[in-house]
Amino acid sequence: MDYQTLLELSRKESHLDDKTIKYVLKYYLKVEPTLKMKIGQTKIDDYLRQLQKINEGYPIQYIVGNVDFYGYNFKVKPGVLIPRFETEQLVFHTKKYINKYFSNKVSLLDIGTGTGVIGLTLKKEVPKIDVTMVDISAKALKLAKVNASHLNEDVTIYKSDMLDEVIRLNEKFDIIISNPPYLTKDEEIMEVVRRYEPSKALYGGKKGLKYYKVILANAKKVLKDRGLIAFEIGSSQTLDIIKIANKYFKDSPYEIKKDFQGRDRMFFLFYNLND
């Protein structure tokens, strides 16, 4: 079958728009297609099976195997969270604060790194940073390493249950950043997310606050004598997180930032950082 016929067949077999079909086909065929290009039957059968999965809600990113984030391309795989557009805002504001508060070389710890989007993007954007990325998931760590090499960045990646291994190694950082699992079990989320994305990356205990508590309670053990803590947060968690922050960092100022829809989505804490 040629590419044009396959394109027409895809339109009949799926409810996807043309742009998406061509995007999936291009990645699936792994070449820039031409209309008359011939495609073997085994490949077509395989592709149609993938198309069917997408029709049923399976994430396209897991089929094409990559996603764009902050202008960089990251590999994604089932078992590791697909980076979200909102997280680009966390990177954006953190970059701004790094440039404002740190003039020399800085060290940054990305907790729950997943694909590595936060740590690696910040390394790309602010080369003076030394980046360490940790996760509890072996799949995530493997993928973060693939992405580091794909983006040609020299970073440190290792397994840690939140801060456990970092504390054991007695490492100290200027910046702690995390987009931890923060959903509650009964939170209404899209069925495709619940079904296809790793639950270990999504849920943060009864009120979704478990990991913020763990990080804030232990942060002083891994922060230098001045530092920044940056979190992505759930839009209804602001007051709870401020309460936890006040418990462990009583006199430190903080800031909440909103996403493009006007919802609270980021929390920044300034520990001994002066304007």
Ligand X SMILES: C[S@@+](CC[C@H](N)C(=O)[O-])C[C@H]1O[C@@H](n2cnc3c(N)ncnc32)[C@H](O)[C@@H]1O
Q: Which spans of this chain sit near ligand X (rule: CB under 6 A)? A: 81, 83, 87, 111-115, 117-118, 135-137, 140, 161-162, 179-181, 200-201
Nearer to ligand X, 21 or 197 (CB): 197
Nearer to ligand X, 6 or 123 (CB): 123
Nearer to ligand X, 33 or 112 (CB): 112
**Residue with structure tokens 């049923």?**
56
Q: Min. distance of Cβ 121 from ligand X in angstroms? A: 10
CA distance 171 to 109: 10
Kindly give the pairing relationship between strand 106-111 and strand 129-135: parallel
Q: Min. distance of Cβ 178 from ligand X in angstroms? A: 7
Q: Min. distance of Cβ 114 from ligand X in angstroms? A: 3
CA distance 108 to 125: 13
How far from each other are the two terminal CA atoms of the chain, in whole angstroms? 65
Nearer to ligand X, 117 or 157 (CB): 117
Integer angstrom CA distances of residue 13 from 2, 5, 56, 177: 16, 12, 12, 43
CA distance 120 to 102: 18
Kindly give the pairing relationship between strand 264-271 and strand 254-258: antiparallel
Nearer to ligand X, 47 or 211 (CB): 211
Q: Min. distance of Cβ 180 from ligand X in angstroms? A: 6
Q: Min. distance of Cβ 54 from ligand X in angstroms? A: 21
Nearest Cα residue to 8 out of 63, 54, 18: 18
The DSSP element (H or E) to which 132 belongs, if any, is strand 129-135
Q: Min. distance of Cβ 111 from ligand X in angstroms? A: 6
Q: Min. distance of Cβ 135 from ligand X in angstroms? A: 5
CA distance 260 to 263: 7
Nearer to ligand X, 181 or 227 (CB): 181
Nearer to ligand X, 85 or 246 (CB): 85
Cβ neighbors of 177 (< 8 A, separation 6 or more) are 90, 94, 108, 109, 110, 111, 118, 119, 122, 229, 230, 231
